[in-house]
Amino acid sequence: MPLRQIVKPGVVLDLDTAHLPGAVVVESRATGQDADQRFDGRSLFPIDVVALTFLMLTRWEESTLPLERDVHGRFARRAMLASRQSFHQRPVVDEWGLVLGTWLRRDVQDPHAAPHRTARILMTHDIDHPYRFGTPIQVVRHAAAELIRHSHSTYRACRELRRGWRSWRSGQGDPYQQAIEWLMQLDEWLGLSGHFFFMTADPSRFDEGYDLRQPRLQQMLAAIEKRKHKVGWHPGYRTVADPTAFARELNRFRTATGQGPQAGRQHYLQWDANASWERWSDGGVLFDCTLGFADCCGFRCGTSHPYPVYSHKRDQELPLMEHPLQIMDCGLHRECGDRGSAEQKMMEILQRVRQVGGEAVTLIHNSFVHSQTVEAMVGPLKWLQESSSNPPAGAPDVADLAPWPAVRRCA
């Protein structure tokens, strides 16, 4: 739909498009395509913004329709309406809200629709593997992977074996542990408190199964909290389909930390539209950051604002906030590949968050090996933080950030 036919005359929308998708169109008696799309303040507004908001935020299609699933049981992004109609990288709920707001605002002195909205960043980090060389088995496994899957070099495999053995024996120099330190420095450089989500799962094909009660991990949790960052929960692969596993892992987290999790995210972004939010709410968790795309950046819920969730099964709002995920390191890498494309995509998504005054929920794993993708995220995040607020006093220069402690420095 062309915005010039719908936005209140004299008002400028600071969007990067002249059209918005005609989702949930209101039926009109007028004939002709142009007649249905025009709005003068007295006729029917062409979009049912309330219905659009409800359908997108509650993920109605995922709870009701038999959509295609991927190998991990997640709804395939290409099967979702937003992806099929190519608006999955737009916060359409926020943008249509701004359009409707041009008619609801009485103050027309300022021609811009949203001049005082302030965007913000929520930095999150899933700790799937706290250590690369946490056990002798992991040392041997990574050395074998270097030989068989990556470089196919005996020299590099032996070097990985020596490096891993020294790190395991001394407890120092582990790249994944160094990455957690780096992420804390990044969050502090941005003037933010990061959220570090730790696991309590049993060992499985998709879960390392580390014990959060280990002395080294207890020291890690204490160091994170001492620097004013937050420790949250990352439920394992099985918890989406197994409520017993969910309850068992939740109890482990409470035992290891001495408190219940305030926030978290499901492993592999697995999510059940008819059970997950209810379990999180019943477990006393305050907010979830799961709803994003695994293979690209975007707005799965059509919004960049946190919102209270709704249970289709119970037909009621729950005491749980959803902070939808827009940018994940591995999704950004799968979509873009090289550093230049990653920076461009980051700026595109963050600019749209800023235009609607939303929250840029960002995920960087401490075990993500593609250094150029991670380092491509730094500049755009700093741009959004400085464009939305005053930079933190005494924040270090970007040159003070060490390189990402990846295993292989490649795109």
What the block records as the tokens of 332 is 């950004």
Rounded CA separation 47/23 (Å): 7
Query: In the block, which residue shows the tokens 């990044």?
Result: 186
Q: Report the pLDDT value the prediction gives residue 245, as an integer from 0 to 100.
A: 97
DSSP H or E run through 175: helix 175-189
On the question of pLDDT at 408 being above 60, the answer is no
The neighbour count for residue 373, using CB atoms within 10 Å, is 27
Count helices and strands in the chain by DSSP H and E runs: 14, 9
Rounded CA separation 75/268 (Å): 12
Cα pseudo-dihedral 146, 150, 153, 154, rounded to 10: 20
Q: CA 371 from chain center: how many Å?
A: 19
Q: Report the pLDDT value the prediction gives residue 35, as an integer from 0 to 100.
A: 47
Rounded CA separation 11/117 (Å): 16
- Helix axis angle for 371-388 and 339-355, nearest 10°, is 30
Q: Report the pLDDT value the prediction gives residue 217, as an integer from 0 to 100.
A: 95
Query: In the block, which residue shows the tokens 């998709």?
Result: 206
On the question of pLDDT at 365 being above 80, the answer is yes
Q: Report the pLDDT value the prediction gives residue 154, as an integer from 0 to 100.
A: 83
Which of the four pLDDT bands, split at 50, 70 and 90, describes residue 253?
A: very high
Q: Report the pLDDT value the prediction gives residue 400, as an integer from 0 to 100.
A: 65
Of the candidates 138, 156, 216, 135, the residue with the CA atom closest to the CA atom of residue 180: 216
On the question of pLDDT at 115 being above 50, the answer is no
Query: What are the residues facing 307 on neighbouring strands?
Result: 322
Rounded CA separation 233/265 (Å): 7
3-class secondary structure, 327: strand
Give the angle 189-192-197 at the CA atoms, nearest 5°: 110
Domain 120-132+174-400: CATH class, spelled out: alpha beta
Report for 55-64, 109-118, 369-378, 393-402: range of highest mean pLDDT:
55-64
Rounded CA separation 76/155 (Å): 41
Beta strands in 78-155 (DSSP E): 120-127
Of the candidates 367, 300, 384, 374, the residue with the CA atom closest to the CA atom of residue 342: 374
On the question of pLDDT at 7 being above 80, the answer is yes
> pTM for the whole thing?
0.90
On the question of pLDDT at 252 being above 60, the answer is yes
Q: Report the pLDDT value the prediction gives residue 61, as an integer from 0 to 100.
A: 96
Q: What is the mean pLDDT of residues 359-371?
A: 94
On the question of pLDDT at 339 being above 90, the answer is yes
Least confident segment among 87-101, 155-169, 323-337, 363-377? 155-169
**Mean pLDDT of the residues in the chain:** 88
Output 147 or 181, whichever has higher pLDDT. Answer: 181
Q: What is the mean pLDDT of residues 39-47?
A: 88
Within 79-132, residue ranges assigned H as helices are 81-84, 92-104
Q: Report the pLDDT value the prediction gives residue 274, as an integer from 0 to 100.
A: 95
Q: Report the pLDDT value the prediction gives residue 259, as an integer from 0 to 100.
A: 93
Rounded CA separation 285/250 (Å): 10
Query: What are the residues facing 311 on neighbouring strands?
Result: 316
Q: What is the mean pLDDT of residues 225-253?
A: 97
CA dihedral over 279, 284, 286, 290, signed as positive or negative: negative
Q: What residue spans define the domains of the chain?
A: 3-104, 120-132+174-400, 133-173
Share of the chain above pLDDT 70, in %: 88
Q: Report the pLDDT value the prediction gives residue 112, as an integer from 0 to 100.
A: 54
Query: What are the residues facing 327 on neighbouring strands?
Result: 362
DSSP H or E run through 27: none
Q: Report the pLDDT value the prediction gives residue 390, as an integer from 0 to 100.
A: 53
User: pLDDT digit string (tens) for 303-316?
Assistant: 999 999 999 999 99
Rounded CA separation 269/304 (Å): 17
